[in-house]
Amino acid sequence: MPETTNSTASSNGINTITKFAYGATGFTGQCTAYISGGFVIEADIEINTSHAWANSAQPNKYDIQSTMTHEFGHVIRVNHSSTYANTMYHTGSQNTTYKRSVTSDDVDAANDSYDRWN
């Protein structure tokens, strides 16, 4: 399996999930998708370890599974939602795990994304 030492997203033919301390005032997670011919050919997800993380609902910590669910939404080209309850809302939430599960709005957005690019 190919490996990379990159700490930032780059179009190198390798799908990566990177954790790195990008700074406490920056993003919690982000996805960079590389598109060719209307299709995602590579996607890199970056997790900012400058923020506090947990794999459960804990005060002052972001849930990694909720964040990854959100970022994988971007991999399939789902945009941000303006509804706070949706997994694809533009900011993460601390001390909660409910965004691990997608809402019906998130599913509709994924279906629209699929229809738009096929």
**How far is it, in rounded angstroms, from Cα 70 to Cα 36?**
22
Burial level of 19, CB count in 10 A (0-12/13-18/19+)?
A: middle
43-96 pLDDT tens trace:
999 999 999 999 999 999 999 999 999 999 999 999 999 999 999 999 999 999
| Interstrand relation of 53-54 and 62-63 (parallel, antiparallel or unpaired) | parallel
Stated pTM of the model: 0.89
